[in-house]
Amino acid sequence: MNQQENIVLKPIGIVRSPIKEVADDCWGGVLATIELDPQVFSPECTLGLDQYSHVEVLFVLDKISQDEIEKGARHPRGRPGWPKMGIFAQRSKHRPNRIGVTACKLESVDGLHIRVRELDAVDGTPVLDVKPYLKGFAPRGEVLEPAWAAELMAGYFR
Amino acid sequence: MNQQENIVLKPIGIVRSPIKEVADDCWGGVLATIELDPQVFSPECTLGLDQYSHVEVLFVLDKISQDEIEKGARHPRGRPGWPKMGIFAQRSKHRPNRIGVTACKLESVDGLHIRVRELDAVDGTPVLDVKPYLKGFAPRGEVLEPAWAAELMAGYFR
């Protein structure tokens, strides 16, 4: 592979959330606001967004320090009862580049303020992008996953 | 909003694809390989990935130049028959931070090589992350979208 240059990104905004501490579960009742940067954006950047039910939010898991990042394999959640999986075979926070992607229910849109439900990011998290959820981008074909994945997710959006 | 620092990311790998030019449609038959960086990763980083049917690939739309980035609103695909939408209300390539996220069908995994179908990224595209697609991360609740979105997607994965 050719040597690749670093990618420098500027957050488009920040998460305002009642959740102040990193958590593994129970994002179901959370109502958060994405505040877009008023130095860069005007309200028309969200024009028509309220016509969708869901958005995908891309954010930086910046509470995870560099030395907590896994580059190999580990048991999800550190649970020895679940099989050891490569970091790209799980959605652990402790991943290279520390980017989270979550489909959230859109609650309301008011110019530079986007209200969402079930965003699994703590207060102050930098946001890299907000994309509307299009049905056409859902996985094509049947989705298969290992058994422990459903067990892990059982409490995630509770 | 507080001043936010830039985020510096290092691609985890690169896309190898038969598609060499940026295109709007017809990603359906494309079979591409994500080559993970052998300087950073060992084969165990994909351990167990083959137990999933789909992955989400995060990549940088680096063929879009900075002056092509939209920060306000525009007609999707420049089509005046479709309503003007904010850049965060469409999935245009011409977006701040230029990150693409696509759920792809997993074809095979061989250590640092991940073969995927329907990846809408051209040859040489930097990859930021690969996440397994978990059913629990699908949108919760009914998905709604404007009518033109289905029209736009009709030829996307053809």
Is B68 within a domain?
yes
Q: A86 and B7: CB-CB below 8 Å?
A: no
Is A97 within a domain?
yes
* Partners of residue A108 in chain B, C-beta under 8 Å: none
Tens digit of each residue's pLDDT (9 = 90 or more) over B5-18:
899 999 999 999 99
Q: Is B56 part of the contact surface with chain A (CB cutoff 8 Å)?
A: yes
- Report the number of distinct structural domains present in chain A: 1
pLDDT of residue B1: 46
pLDDT of residue B71: 98
Residues 6+ apart with CB under 8 A from B59: B15, B99, B100, B102, B119, B121, B125, B126, B127, B128
Look up the ipTM and state it.
0.96
pLDDT of residue A1: 46
Distances B90 to A80, A124, A145, B131 between C-alpha atoms, Å: 42, 25, 29, 22
Q: A131 and B91: CB-CB below 8 Å?
A: yes
pTM: 0.96
Is B13 within a domain?
no
Q: Are strands A54-60 and A99-110 parallel, antiparallel or unpaired?
A: antiparallel
Shortest alpha-carbon distance between residue A23 and chain B (Å): 16
Is A8 within a domain?
no
Helix (H/G/I), strand (E/B), else coil: B149: helix
Q: Which of B6, B45, B128 is the closest to A87 by Cβ? A: B45
Residue to substitute from A4, A10, A105, interface B, most B β-carbons within 10 A: A4
Please give the Cα distance from A109 to A115 (Å, whole number). Answer: 6
Tens digit of each residue's pLDDT (9 = 90 or more) over B79-121:
999 999 999 999 999 999 999 999 999 999 999 999 999 999 9
Residues 6+ apart with CB under 8 A from A22: A63, A64, A93, A122
Give Cα B86 to chain centroid, integer Å. Answer: 19
Is B130 within a domain?
yes
Q: Which of B2, B90, B129 is the closest to A99 by Cβ? A: B129
pLDDT-derived band at B22 (thresholds 50, 70, 90) equals: confident
Percentage of chain A beyond pLDDT 70 is 98
Is A14 within a domain?
no
Name residue, tokens 């959006």.
A157
Q: How many degrees, rounded to 5, is the angle at CA B90 between CA B85 and CA B91?
A: 155
Q: Could you count the other beta carbons within 10 Å of the beta carbon of residue B4?
A: 18
Q: Supply the CATH number for residue A98's domain.
A: 2.40.30.70
Q: Could you count the other beta carbons within 10 Å of the beta carbon of residue B18?
A: 10
Is A5 within a domain?
no
Q: Which residues constitute the domain of residue B158?
A: 64-134+150-158
Residues 6+ apart with CB under 8 A from B21: B122
Is A3 within a domain?
no
* Partners of residue B123 in chain A, C-beta under 8 Å: none
Q: A89 and B52: CB-CB below 8 Å?
A: yes
Q: What is the mean pLDDT of chain A?
A: 95
